[in-house]
Structure 1
Amino acid sequence: MVVTGKPDSWIEDSITVRRMGLADLAWVVAQHRSHFPDNVIGRLGLGLLTRYYRTFLDSTFAVATVTEVSGVRAGFLVGVLDTAAHRRLMWQFHGFSLGLATLRAFLRHPVLGVGIVRRRLSLRLHPPAPMPAERVAVLSHVAVDPDSQGRGLGVMMIDQFLAAAAAAGADRVCVATADHAPRAASIYLRRGFVLSSRSRTFDGRYIRLYDRPTAAPAP
């Protein structure tokens, strides 16, 4: 998902992109809740959302960066370079704490919890058709603070993630956006993504899935 301003405008201030750390989590979580209010993980509470972002920090198969403008946080990006490998590490090192946070979230928000469980059971009973053996990178979330929008920071972070995915050997990159996000759609289409599908979530929302081979020409 993306929240950003004009993709082709740049600024002269000092821009720094660094690895996300524990001290950034509160700011990142606040940005997430502001930019993605309909996101299910965010709706399940601060505890689970914070634990979700925590899983990106120490995974060798994930990207978690914060962009600063003149030393002030302006945006962030998290994504996975190899979904299968990242999932294994996530459950190995965060399985217990993530499971506990999920249980607490479900007890506080039982309607959402039941919906997620039903969705998972449905996928197990009716699994999708097997896909070709590919290494898939997923751009999970990218956002720019409102005070820093219109400067091209979102596009810059997306391009950096595409480069990281290609360097890591991913065959393709996927991203999901809200159905009512024309600006995000425009940005991803201009970066070489194509709309692969539109689907309905268990809670009645619609999302759009975009896909881009890492071997696609540079935008």
Structure 2
Amino acid sequence: MDAEPRASALPNAALAPSDPDRSTILLRLPAPRVSEEPVSPPVSVRFMDTEHLRFVVGEQRRLFPDGFFSRLGPGFLTAHTRTYLTSPHAVGFVAEVDGAPVGYLVGVVDPALHRRHLLRAHGPGLAVRAAAALAVRPALAVNFLRTRLPRYARKLLPGRRAGASASAAPAPPAVHDREAVLAHVAVCEEARSYGIGGQLMERFADFAVVAGCTRVSLVTAAGPAGAGPYYERRGWERRAETHTPDGKHLLVYARPLGAHRPDPI
């Protein structure tokens, strides 16, 4: 089972958790220009933990209600989001204000190995949850059979896998050519315009650089519903267009890692 299309909700590396000096980034929200109130409380960006799953899943279902995984319900989405916390090839970060989460990011630093981990360690459990969710959602089940099942079957059929093993397998990508994938990033409405989304993305960029990645990519919805202009202002380049199995139009953005970073927006 592959991950659902990546998305973002922003305005219209491997750094070990045990590293005390880098496991938390502190920044301050500037006071509104028209106000003389003191600077807002500090915001911390730290590694996501299981205690954050309820917030992350709730925000993802609220901000991306049309996503296939969101439509499978909170049980499946929680189980799938947890894979980012157990995989050695993925990571999650959460931004907090006064201990309350206000934003999150999940991403992958080796998509092929993360997919393998997901299938081997969580595949059966996710399949059972998905089947149970589809059983009580007949319209979604029809959509799955029509748009996604053929793709999953092509990837997972034993004969196909055996044939691939028998043939000469291509050499794995060189470390210098590895691409990280930013899967989801979102910031609550009341905490936007303070650069929190940018801080989350730069933290992921740091993680990806140490993991050996030299570039990072993401997708966002085309048109007004997407965040393309936001990414372009931050130095991301539009590389391609794609569509989900349901036909939704997406734009692919990428940026090199280790390059000059734009100022937070």
TM-score after normalising by structure 2:
0.72
CA contact (8 A) 1:18 1:67 kept: yes
CA contact (8 A) 2:29 2:42 kept: no
Is structure 2 residue 159 aligned with structure 1 residue 153? no
1:135 shift after superposition: 1.8
Residue type matched to 1:80 in 2?
V
Residue type matched to 1:86 in 2?
H
Which residue of structure 2 aligns with residue 191 of structure 1? 234
CA contact (8 A) 1:80 1:140 kept: yes
SS of 2:94's partner is strand
Deviates more, 1:62-71 or 1:110-119: 110-119
Which residue of structure 1 aligns with residue 80 of structure 2? 52
Q: How does 1:99-118 map to 2 (within 5 A)?
A: 99-107=127-135, 108=137, 109-114=140-145, 115-118=147-150
SS of 1:202's partner is coil
Look at both structures and tell me which one has the larger radius of gyration over its CA atoms: 2
Which residue of structure 1 aligns with residue 9 of structure 2? 3
CA contact (8 A) 2:108 2:183 kept: yes
In structure 2, relative to structure 1, the CA distance for the partners of 1:123 and 1:198 (3 Å cut) is farther
Corresponding pairs, count: 213
SS of 1:180's partner is coil
The 1-side partners of 2:192 and 2:260 are apart by 27
TM-score after normalising by structure 1:
0.85
Matched residues, percent identical?
Answer: 36
In structure 2, relative to structure 1, the CA distance for the partners of 1:111 and 1:189 (3 Å cut) is same
The 2-side partners of 1:214 and 1:35 are apart by 28
The 1-side partners of 2:205 and 2:235 are apart by 10
CA contact (8 A) 1:177 1:185 kept: yes
The 2-side partners of 1:212 and 1:182 are apart by 21
Deviates more, 1:63-72 or 1:183-192: 183-192
Query: Alpha carbon RMSD of aligned pairs, Å?
Result: 2.6
Which of 204, 208, 212 lines up with 2:255 in the alignment? 212
The 2-side partners of 1:188 and 1:122 are apart by 33
Which residue of structure 2 aligns with residue 62 of structure 1? 90
1:31-80 deviation digits (Å, cap 9, x = unpaired): 00111122221122222211110101122221111110122211011000
- Gaps of at least 5 residues in structure 2 are 1-6, 13-27, 31-39, 161-169
Which residue of structure 2 aligns with residue 32 of structure 1? 60
Which residue of structure 1 aligns with residue 36 of structure 2? none
In structure 2, relative to structure 1, the CA distance for the partners of 1:215 and 1:149 (3 Å cut) is closer
The 2-side partners of 1:213 and 1:123 are apart by 29
- Gaps of at least 5 residues in structure 1 are none
1:183 shift after superposition: 6.4
SS of 1:2's partner is strand
The 1-side partners of 2:133 and 2:223 are apart by 27
CA contact (8 A) 1:83 1:135 kept: no
Which residue of structure 1 aligns with residue 17 of structure 2? none
Which residue of structure 2 aligns with residue 166 of structure 1? 209
1:86 shift after superposition: 1.5
SS of 1:65's partner is strand
